[in-house]
Amino acid sequence: MPLLWAAISAHGFGHAAQVVPVLNALGRLVPNLRVLLRTMVPASFFEHRLTVPWELSAVQQDIGCIQNGPLTIDVDATWREHNRFHLTWNDRMRAEVEAMRAVHPDMILADTPYLAVAAGAQAACPTVALVSFTWDLVLAEYPAPPDIAGWTLLQSIRQAYAKADLALRITPAPKMELFTSLIDIGPIAEPVASAREQLAALLHLAPGERTVLVGFGGIPQASLPFSQLEPLTGYRFLFDGPIPSDSTRVISTRSLPLSFKTLLASVDTILTKPGYGTLVEAVALGIPLVYVRRYNFVDEQPLVDYLHRHGRGVELTKEDFVSGRWAPAIRSAFDLPIPATPAAATGAEEAASHLARFF
């Protein structure tokens, strides 16, 4: 039976959210496809999303960014963790190559760990990078501490990526010049059906009351300005973090019998950061999005541009987010016209058609 080795970055859930629709589409093209998920993303993320047979091998694939919550990147710690990762590079490579040779995968798919790309090349496996950014582009935005050879580390990452047989660049994404063979594909999204009426019944919504899903992806937001949100009548906020027992305006998503993806498809608007999975699904669903920017992450501008071209989005400053001044941005998002040029989420099927040629 054909086996695909899927190496997935565990920096948040965005990379896993890109890979799952591709694997589902590939399973429709390649009979009896099996998938080995090489990632630290928890198995619970895949359980109700991935439709092909799979097993999880929980091994660290890359560092990503070290963050203090979803909106603040610890630049110094990020560089130091990357440096520590590369100090053990030879041991990590040996372990990945041996593991690949033990199971004989038909191909390696990496979104976006460069370790898997380099190991796949050494193990003589066809290797494809599925990318909306690369980690060298992320790190290049940040100054390295003086005791770390930042340029040398970046060059090591670039040399590893360059060993890919093919790169599939997902729309939207920044410019990439590392890969010798690169194909652009469409956006990747796999939204589920709305359960809007069920959600309204569960929340006992009053006529005209609107729902706002507050979710920042796999790196959770620790708290909200709860006292400032209580006076915002006309809205119910669904939050995936801890909530004070006396809150009436904010509801825990964990108290609802609906998955996060179903909630995303069922609410009136979403408040988040510009991350790939949530933003592209919001556009596909036609749901307005209020976003809080970081301004120092490489794929953020392409995502924001895509949102304003094909969806409905309003920026909420970090200061207004922290202070609870949300109402003007939310109202503005609802008032935006529906775009004349919606984007078709064709990326998963396009990626699957390219990957199927390796089997």
The gap from C-alpha 96 to its chain's centroid, in whole angstroms, comes to: 24
Confirm if 186 and 343 have CB atoms less than 8 A apart: yes
Task: Please calculate the CA angle 198-263-242 and round it to the nearest 5 degrees.
Answer: 110
The pLDDT tens digits of the residues spanning 19-29 come to 999 999 999 99
What pLDDT sits at residue 295? Answer: 94
User: What CA–CA distance (Å, rounded) separates 63 from 338?
Assistant: 38
Bridge partners (DSSP) listed for residue 108: 5, 127
The pLDDT tens digits of the residues spanning 248-259 come to 999 999 999 999
User: What CA–CA distance (Å, rounded) separates 220 from 218?
Assistant: 6
What pLDDT sits at residue 140? Answer: 97
User: What CA–CA distance (Å, rounded) separates 356 from 109?
Assistant: 12
Element (H, E) at 252: strand 250-252
Sequence-separated (6 or more) residues with CB below 8 Å from residue 101: 123
Q: Using the 8-state DSSP alphabet, how is residue 205 labeled?
A: P
With 0-12 CB in 10 A as exposed, 13-18 as middle and 19+ as buried, what is 175? Answer: exposed
- What is the mean predicted confidence (pLDDT) over 204-219? 93
Q: What is the pTM of this model?
A: 0.95
User: Which residue segments constitute the domains of the chain, with CATH numbers given?
Assistant: 3-187+347-358 (3.40.50.2000), 196-335 (3.40.50.2000)
> For residue 257, which of 318, 202, 335 has the smallest C-alpha distance?
202
Percent of the chain with pLDDT over 90: 94
